[in-house]
Chains A and B, each alone.
Chain A
């Protein structure tokens, strides 16, 4: 770990001001950032602790919810309104990490956590375009069981590891940002980038910007939603494939549907093609499978993760069938 200085910000303005002094990183629960600092992958000269910023979870006038950037993952998962109106979000959060880590992890930190690609972590010996653009990518010809099958590039095949973000993507969540130039919002689905030739640039954030909150717009259909995570052990493992979905069925026909995938891409993958194909279709296993096929049509597997393509299709279909219940 490289020596650094530490300051605690009591509000967004103070955090932004601290940041202006340069070479800083915001510190949430530290469950990802501190690990990366130990490996000297992140080398901030200053840490600005932003856990004193808003951690509230509040209902909006129209029935949505605004979650403060510093709200702990556990608090979100346990919140009564979230459990009843957005059950997929609760389930996604408790499917991730461990209780201890979730108690520390913040909303903003979770959104901004970095990939678990083992070569990205091996700062001493591996080549990685995400750490150092142009260096090469040791994962492409190495162990890539956990890597992407959608939207990857020849520069990087890493995945975004968050469970929570997959649910947020399905919920049309909106990220609230605040920088020295003011405030703005970005839909979560547009917030993370695909790797392209600059896998080191992972989001659309500008330098120094803060995540102050995440908004869940009202979504009545989300009461019928869930999250399914497929992994190598029963707990405490990252997703090989995960599916967050919500569906509304009217008279046996798909009225509306939201699907997002985890473990398959450099970002939480909103399955727009599958959604579009399903709207207005009969809510049957056949339609669900066909929609999944369509979404995965462009999938490109690596040496060790070809199974993910079929696994993703099956999991999408199984989740939708499950949510359809008697309606299907």
Chain B
């Protein structure tokens, strides 16, 4: 058995240490990405052009159909009732009035819900999509405050909403763990994420810290956050016999299809999930109770069901980001060379959630330091399962780490950018492997110049205009490069010279369909209007998560594999009568609607001609990319240098970001327009994280108190200044197209850049997010 076959067997779970070592020391050329993607060198193609989103006009016209806009014959509408206690059981539930209410078709509770298998929990298996694996409406147990206890189906949404308000539930409450301090008191354990413990140790950090000439030792806190995608969660569901069809708003169509099959004891192929458009995902649009319960109710009632959560519903039954309490202790010599780095802390999770907030992950690869201890301790609370939210770990982890770096810079009297440059690692400090592409110093240099960093006065509180104190801050943004296993793609080439590319991926507003049209067109050498991208459907090839900022890479590698197969077939079909005769796949490129010799463009035949001569209407090629061993072989990350200028009102403490610049090092930028929107959107969400967002979790009963956009403050237009975006555009030689994901990095580093600017403006170091005015005006 070859090394790679063996690897395939073990790669499902945790990679064995031996294997990992083997991958680390294997020659580059054995790795996926070992030979650079030819598209990296290609010029004059569609890649790199600011192509407008192909779904833009459809959305502007209202013609793009979202999950809650599918209309099915005989469809009924669902409403949910949520528990008001955190733990215990339903002692009595009175549904008589609801049942008698006008238009009601079904009232479903634990008494009559069909028996279901528990949802497969995310990361527990390859295609698991569930935010947790709790059984809901299967018995009288209550596990969190907000758990669905009844579902009503009615002929109209208004009738369903009315009927649900008539349901009366009596609870037998039991003592619940809803206080963080009490939960910590009961003991914590080391968290784990993606199969690895959230604990790393190199050298002796405690000793090095004790011996250090300069130190910073601070505790940072971040609150809970909730998902607030513009489109609240929704699904339209119908059973056709034993086939289940779900029009969902999801970032995981194939995962959802498989997981629903497990829950309802179906064959995976009997579940069809579509999700043509998603109004924002951010990690929250996976499988939660609303799809499961609506499908169960559709089966019970024999009617198609539309379920569209209210904003409150999203807060009650969709997970959010958990809170953290993080200690960062840094030790350095007098030149700012780090000698010790401790990043540790506590985060609560629900007993059944898929992850503890992994805030130490960004620290692993951040700085060259010989003594490092990283540790995440987890306690459990009876609460809605916490989940992935844009850059889980990095968003709040970089707030702590990069605030601490700013504190150290000030103690040392060194410019914060210079301090970071002095600690730039030449290989991954924890993994020991080389970086695939890391140009963070360049991102800082170019960003600082454009932002006017040299205008900053390092002395806090030294710049004032009228009532407003003005400050500048910077911080490093970082997010891992991921490519998850399971992707696939299919290219169908027609004798009219058109190509269709299929993959079970997602368009959540990021620009996936547009960018993949550009990439495929360049790979095949076709104009944009000759390429059709089909996605958002579980019957298409592959298991591709729109998560971990990995979709572009996963699809890119899959399409590359399909293309390689396609070229092989085309050369066979072309045969000996073609100018291409005798050429091998790696000697040709897709160009001008056909294939040509890499260096002798006159040796060319177009696709239509090859197919026609071979009497073929179309040619189909499927591609499955290699396992992502490159992730072990190199340390692969995106980077950014974030710059903030803030104004803090000296009288009221009101903080208002007045300027922001993100300078990114994220490989080759495939589409400047869609990429800039992703970066900007992330930064806007980072402004919320820094200044306004906080889920109020009432520790008396575990209930979320502000489940509305009026009370949970996301930034409004007036809170968001002009945001400048720039990038190095240096391709990573080891990734498809030389690209990195750009979806999540914008929220990382932003919190610290803002907090550091606040300090520079006021001399007040706020370590407790969000930075509201009461923390500043004292």
Q: Mark A156-190, 1 if CB is under 8 A from B, else 0.
A: 00000000000000000000000000000000000
How far is it, in angstroms, between the C-alpha of A235 and the C-alpha of B717 when the chains are bound?
A: 8
User: Chain B nearest CB: distance from A287 CB in Å?
Assistant: 17
Complex partner residue of B703 from A116, A122, A236, A311, CB under 8 angstroms? A122
Whether A237 is near chain B, meaning CB under 8 Å from some CB there, is: yes
B418 at the interface (CB under 8 A from A): no
Chain A hits for B691, CB < 8 A? 233
- Tell whether A142 pairs with B700 under 8 Å between CB atoms, given A1-B158, A125-B84, A232-B692: yes
Among residues 614 to 665 in chain B, which have CB atoms less than 8 Å away from a CB atom of chain A? 651-654, 656
Give the contacts of B309-344 with A (CB-CB under 8 A). Answer: none
Nearest-neighbour CB distance to chain B for A136, whole angstroms, equals 12
* Chain B residues with CB under 8 A of A116: 710-711
A119 at the interface (CB under 8 A from B): yes
Contact residues in B for A236 (Cβ distance below 8 Å): 716
Distance in Å: Cβ of B567 to nearest Cβ of chain A: 54
A40 within 8 A of B: yes
Given A1-B165, A125-B703, A307-B778: A232 in contact with B651 (beta carbons within 8 A): no
Q: Contact residues of B with A, CB < 8 Å?
A: 82, 84, 102, 145, 158, 161-162, 165, 467, 651-654, 656, 691-692, 696, 698, 700-701, 703, 705-706, 708, 710-711, 713, 715-719, 772-774, 777-778
Write out the residue numbers on chain B whose beta carbons fall within 8 Å of the beta carbon of A3: 102, 162
| Contact status A124-B713, CB under 8 Å | no
Q: How far is the CA of A121 from the CA of B778 in the complex (A)?
A: 31
> Is A314's CB within 8 Å of the partner chain B?
yes
Are B713 and A143 neighbours in the complex by a CB distance under 8 Å?
A: no
Enumerate chain A interface residues (CB-CB to B < 8 A).
1-3, 38, 40, 116, 118-119, 121-122, 124-126, 138, 141-143, 230-237, 240, 307, 310-311, 314-315, 318
What chain B residues lie within 8 Å of A234 (beta carbons)? 656, 716, 718-719
Q: Which residues of the partner chain A approach B772 to less than 8 Å between Cβ atoms?
A: 232
**Chain B residues near A240 (CB, 8 Å)?**
773
Given contact pairs A1-B162, A125-B703, enumerate 14 new A-B contacts (beta carbons under 8 Å). Answer: A2-B162, A116-B710, A125-B145, A143-B696, A231-B654, A232-B773, A233-B692, A307-B773, A307-B777, A311-B653, A311-B773, A314-B651, A314-B652, A318-B652
> Of B84, B652, B705, B715, which contacts A311 at CB under 8 A?
B652
CA distance A235 to B692 in the complex (A): 12
Is there contact, CB below 8 Å, between B652 and A315?
A: yes
- The answer to whether A233 and B652 have CB atoms under 8 Å apart is no
Kindly provide the distance from the CB of B151 to the nearest chain A CB, expressed in whole angstroms: 16
- Give every chain A residue within 8 A of B84 (Cβ-Cβ): 124-125
- Whether the Cβ atoms of B717 and A311 lie closer than 8 Å is no
Is the pair B162, A310 in contact by a Cβ cutoff of 8 Å? no
A-B contact pairs, 27 of them (CB 8 A): A1-B158, A3-B102, A118-B705, A118-B711, A119-B705, A122-B703, A122-B705, A124-B82, A138-B698, A141-B700, A142-B698, A142-B700, A143-B705, A232-B713, A232-B773, A234-B716, A235-B716, A235-B719, A236-B716, A307-B774, A310-B777, A310-B778, A311-B774, A311-B777, A314-B651, A314-B777, A315-B652
CA distance A318 to B653 in the complex (A): 13
| A233 with B705, Cβ < 8 A, contacts A2-B165, A314-B777 known | no
In whole angstroms, how far apart are the Cα atoms of A40 and B145 in the complex?
20
Across the interface, which residues of B come within 8 angstroms of A310, CB to CB?
Answer: 777-778
Given A1-B165, A119-B705, A311-B777, A233 and B719 contact (CB-CB distance below 8 Å): yes
Instruction: Tell me the smallest distance from the CB of B363 to a CB of chain A, in Å.
Output: 30
Least Cβ distance of B466 to chain A in Å?
A: 10
Contact A233 B715 (CB under 8 A): yes
Q: Determine if B165 and A40 form an interchain contact, defined as CB atoms under 8 angstroms apart.
A: yes
Q: Is the CB of B718 within 8 A of A235?
A: yes
Which A residues are in CB contact (< 8 Å) with B708? 121
Q: Which residues of B contact A122 (CB under 8 A)?
A: 703, 705
- Are the C-beta atoms of A230 and B652 separated by less than 8 Å? yes
Q: Which 9 A-B pairs have the closest CB atoms?
A: A234-B718, A307-B774, A125-B84, A235-B718, A230-B652, A118-B705, A236-B716, A234-B719, A318-B651
* Nearest residue, chain B, Cβ from A3: B162
**Cα–Cα distance between A185 and B661 once the two chains are bound (Å):** 56
Of all chain A residues, the one with the shortest Cβ separation from B775 is: A307
By a CB distance below 8 angstroms, the chain A residues around B145 are 125
Which B residues touch A232, using CB under 8 A?
Answer: 692, 713, 772-773
Which A residues touch B713, using CB under 8 A? 232-233, 237
> CA–CA, A143 to B701, complex, Å?
13
CB distance from B652 to the nearest CB of A (A): 5
The answer for the CA separation of A125 and B707 in the assembled complex, in Å, is 13
What's the minimum C-beta distance from A140 to chain B, rounded to whole angstroms?
Answer: 11
Rounded to whole angstroms, the CA-CA distance of A116 and B717 in the bound complex is 22
**In the assembly, what is the distance between CA of A1 and CA of B79, in Å?**
12
B773 with A142: CB separation less than 8 A = no
Q: Is B705 within 8 A of A142, CB to CB?
A: yes
Complex interface: chain A residues within 8 A of B700 (CB): 138, 141-142
Whole-angstrom CA separation of A176 from B713 in the bound complex: 36
* CB nearest to A241 among chain B residues: B652
Residue on B with the closest CB to A123?
A: B165
Chain A, residue nearest B774 (CB): A307
User: Shortest Cβ distance from B678 into chain A, in angstroms?
Assistant: 23
Given the complex of chains A and B, what is the CA–CA distance between A312 and B478 in angstroms? Answer: 41
Residues of B near A40 (CB, < 8 A) are 165
Given contacts A118-B705, A307-B774, contact A1 B652 (CB under 8 A): no
Beta-carbon nearest neighbor of A43 in chain B: B165
Chain B residue with the shortest CB-CB distance to A308: B774
CA distance A38 to B708 in the complex (A): 13
Residue in A closest to B657 when the chains form the complex, CB atoms:
A234
Q: Which residue of chain A is the closest to B653 with respect to CB atoms?
A: A311
Task: Give Cα distance in the complex from A112 to B653, angstroms.
Answer: 31
A233 to B165, CA, bound (A): 33
Q: With a CB–CB cut-off of 8 A, which chain A residues contact B706?
A: 118, 143
A233 partner residues in chain B, CB cutoff 8 A: 691-692, 713, 715-716, 718-719
Residues from chain B with Cβ under 8 Å of A138 in the complex = 698, 700
Residues of A within 8 A of B778 (CB): 307, 310
How far is it, in angstroms, between the C-alpha of A119 and the C-alpha of B162 when the chains are bound?
Answer: 21
**Whose C-beta in chain A lies nearest to the C-beta of B696?**
A143
Residues in A with CB closer than 8 Å to B703 are 122, 125-126
In the complex, chain B residues whose CB is within 8 Å of the CB of A307:
773-774, 777-778
CA distance A104 to B303 in the complex (A): 38
**Contact A230 B773, CB 8 Å, known A118-B711, A122-B703, A235-B718:** yes
B716 and A143 contacting across the interface, CB-CB below 8 Å: no
CB neighbours (8 Å) of B162 from chain A are: 1-3
Please name all residues of chain B whose beta carbon is closer than 8 Å to the beta carbon of A118 when the two chains form the complex: 696, 705-706, 711
B710 to chain A: which residues have CB within 8 Å?
A: 116
How many whole Å from B683's CB to the nearest CB in chain A?
16
Residues of chain A with a CB closer than 8 A to B165's CB: 1-2, 40
Cα distance A215–B719 in the bound complex, in angstroms: 35
- Tell me, in angstroms, the Cα distance from A116 to B710 when the chains sit together: 9
CB of A75 to closest CB in B, whole Å? 23
Please tell me if the beta carbons of A230 and B698 are within 8 angstroms of each other in the complex. no
Q: Which residue of chain B is the closest to A231 with respect to CB atoms?
A: B654
CB distance from A302 to the nearest CB of B (A): 13
Q: In the complex, which residues of chain A have a beta carbon less than 8 angstroms from the beta carbon of B773? A: 230, 232, 240, 307, 311
Contacts of B651 in A (CB 8 A): 314-315, 318
Cβ of A121: which chain B residues have Cβ within 8 Å of it? 708
Q: Which single residue of chain A is at the shortest CB-CB distance from B82?
A: A124
**Which residue from chain B places its CB closest to the CB of A238 in the assembled complex?**
B710
**Contacting residues, chain A, for B654 (C-beta < 8 A):** 230-231
B82, B706, B708, B710 — most chain A CB neighbours (10 Å)? B710
State in angstroms the CA–CA spacing of A134 and B557 once bound together: 65
A318 to B467, CA, bound (A): 10
How far, in angstroms, from A122 to B700 measured CA to CA in the complex? 15
B696 CB → nearest A CB, Å: 5
How many whole Å from B327's CB to the nearest CB in chain A?
25
Chain A positions within 8 Å of B656 at CB level: 234
A122, B773: Cα distance in complex, Å: 27
A206 CB to nearest chain B CB (Å): 30
